[in-house]
Amino acid sequence: MQTKFNILFIGDVVGRYGRRALRNSIDSIKSKYDIDFTIVNAENAADGFGINKKVYAELEVCADALTLGNHTWDKQEIMSDMDDMDKLIRPINFSGKSPGVGFRIFKRNGIEIAVINAVGRIFMIPVDNPFYALDELLNSPKMKDVEIKIVDFHAEATSEKQAMGWFLDGRVSAVIGTHTHVQTADERILPSGSAYITDIGMTGCHNGVLGFEKKQALDRFLTYIPQRLKVCKENIQINGCVMEIDAKTGEALNIVRVQEAQS
């Protein structure tokens, strides 16, 4: 049985340029890091806002699991299409009445890998408490025999993300931050064995504001008039991280950041 898993996690893919970069580079990144399992955050993949059927089809060939965030419902059609998307995971602490699922369990070489998505509440839309939602899931029988558990904690506030890291340390293999689109340099293995990083960054244009054209983004701050944001296309980078996980114990052995220019 395979004893160590290398898991790649790609940060928020923004629009067509982010998708193209990912498609072009994913094979070389996977072989460079000898990747066994890939998770991609896709909440900004369709024109910067949400995901749809076409974009899902494009991304699912690159990834084993696709996570979301506060932009989950931006493309309304996803609500009815989601049932057919067996790699897609939306935040677990949305309303219980929401379509979709908040976690999925995948099996690779006899090992179960749970991918769990949650959103934060600080400076974000009001949702259920992510700490209690994750606590309940991790205490449930569904998770009992799952060897590897990866949490995508999609949140704005560094404090909430760090608190989640400590809350879940030793109970999951990794707490990976997404949403702010800027990679942080605080990757580490916490004392009880969970990998942690506050944010893995964004896949897309790095010469704008969070992947969007700087003109409209700046005008919003200067005029307070809502602007239609357009994804930008310069300085395309792929951001993420790679974790090495002990499949027997579920503990993280290593975490490194990934920052690749488009190949």
Residue 70 interacts with Fe ion (CB under 5 A): yes or no: yes
Candidate residues 7, 10, 12, 72; the one interacting with Fe ion per rule CB under 5 A: 12
Active site residue 154: no
If the CB atoms of residues 171 and 181 are measured against Fe ion, the closer one turns out to be 181
Core vs surface per residue 154-166: b (16+ CB within 10 A) or e? bbbbeebbebbbe
Question: 113 Cβ partners below 8 Å, 6+ apart?
Answer: 5, 7, 37, 64, 105, 106, 107, 146, 147, 148, 149, 150
3-state class (DSSP) for residue 17: helix
CB of 109 to Fe ion, least distance (A): 31
Give the H or E element holding residue 7: strand 4-10
Residue 67 interacts with Fe ion (CB under 5 A): yes or no: no
Rg of the chain (C-alpha set): 17
Stretch that binds Fe ion, among 65-73, 138-146, 159-167, 189-197 (CB under 5 A): 65-73
Stretch that binds Fe ion, among 29-37, 43-51, 156-164, 218-226 (CB under 5 A): 43-51
CB of 154 to Fe ion, least distance (A): 6
Question: 136 Cβ partners below 8 Å, 6+ apart?
Answer: none
CB of 149 to Fe ion, least distance (A): 21
Stretch that binds Fe ion, among 2-10, 69-77, 139-147, 212-220 (CB under 5 A): 69-77
Residue 156 interacts with Fe ion (CB under 5 A): yes or no: no
DSSP of 131-161:
HHHHHHHHHSGGGTT-SEEEEEEE-S-HHHH
Question: 105 Cβ partners below 8 Å, 6+ apart?
Answer: 112, 113, 114, 142, 146
Residue 239 interacts with Fe ion (CB under 5 A): yes or no: no
Stretch that binds Fe ion, among 8-16, 76-84, 137-145, 223-231 (CB under 5 A): 8-16
Residue 69 interacts with Fe ion (CB under 5 A): yes or no: yes
3-state class (DSSP) for residue 116: strand
If the CB atoms of residues 148 and 232 are measured against Fe ion, the closer one turns out to be 232
Q: Which of 70, 174, 184, 181 is nearest to 119 (CA)?
A: 70
Residue 199 interacts with Fe ion (CB under 5 A): yes or no: no
CB of 66 to Fe ion, least distance (A): 13
CB of 170 to Fe ion, least distance (A): 27
List 71, 179, 181, 206, catalytic entry: 71
CB of 93 to Fe ion, least distance (A): 14
Instruction: Determine the residue type at 207.
Output: N
Residues 157-186 that bind Fe ion (CB under 5 A): 179
> What number of other Cβ atoms are within 10 A of residue 132's Cβ?
10
Residue 44 interacts with Fe ion (CB under 5 A): yes or no: yes
Binding site residues, Fe ion, CB under 5 A: 12, 44, 69-70, 179
Catalytic residues: 71
